Amino acid sequence: MLEVKLRYPEADLHCHTTASDGLLTPWDLVKSAAEKGVKALGITDHDTLSGWEEAIKAGLLFDVDIVKGVELNTDWNGVEVHILGYEMNPNSTILQDKLSELREARSKRVTTIIGKLRELGLPIQKSEVEKVSRGESIGRPHIAQVLVSKGVVGSVKEAFELYIGAGAPAYVPRYKITPEEGIALVRQAGGASVLAHPGIFGLERGVADWVEAGLQGIEVCHSEHTREDEKKYRELAKNYGLLMTGGSDFHGEERKPGIQIGDWGTCLGVVEDLRRIAYSHHH
């Protein structure tokens, strides 16, 4: 039985563009959001703010409020923890320096993975991966796409399972920052820090420490959360007085099949709250 969609959120606060590993340009993403009736859209590319400018221009044209964000991949005892930062000051040198360091590390990792794939008899060029990436922030999904286009694997998922995911033969661990460092970075740049999709890796045990480190919100509504996850993290957010956010984590159909903009999200009040938190840091 198809689950009837009861929620039509006003705000989708977690979306990716070609600036990192999404398939739509910021412009096309905003246009698509407007067509779906989304009023506010979070641009949260990995380790880069480079999608903001184009998204804001599109937002003015299509009447979509752009919530400026970023997604930072951090590591907690070998578990991936993603920290979302919202409404930071883009001129913060601390932020820009760290993001460029993270992107540099991503690029080196891609080079190493390509070397391992060559050893496995799968010759792909870095230039091919760069062409697919189109943005500042390059990563494994772009390698997966090249492997799909060459017919080596049938899907991005298969590329990860057979070759480049954890435990696979061409896997290379990434440069790691801790969740605490991610939260501090967002806060130092005047932003609001939110724990992304905790249900995927079951991160409730870390929340107390991260709140102490300055965490201000939890992404409760997410495309990979079950109703149980949602309930659990809603309770947790209430207990700690954290903001509850939501987003689809949209990347594009080929990258994340079946996940549409605005099918997950939250209300416009949450956008005001995020901005209020961030604004209080700026002043």
Q: Model confidence over 9-64: pLDDT tens digits? A: 899 999 999 999 999 999 999 999 999 999 999 999 999 999 999 999 999 999 99
Among residues 51, 46, 1, 13, the alpha carbon closest in space to that of 263 is found at: 13
pLDDT tens digits, one per residue of 200-256: 999 999 999 999 999 999 999 999 999 999 999 999 999 999 999 999 999 998 888
Question: What's the CA gap between 81 and 84, in Å, rounded?
Answer: 10
Measured CA to CA, the distance from residue 183 to residue 72 in angstroms comes to 9
Domains located in the chain, CATH noted: 11-98+175-282 (3.20.20.140), 99-164 (1.10.150.650)
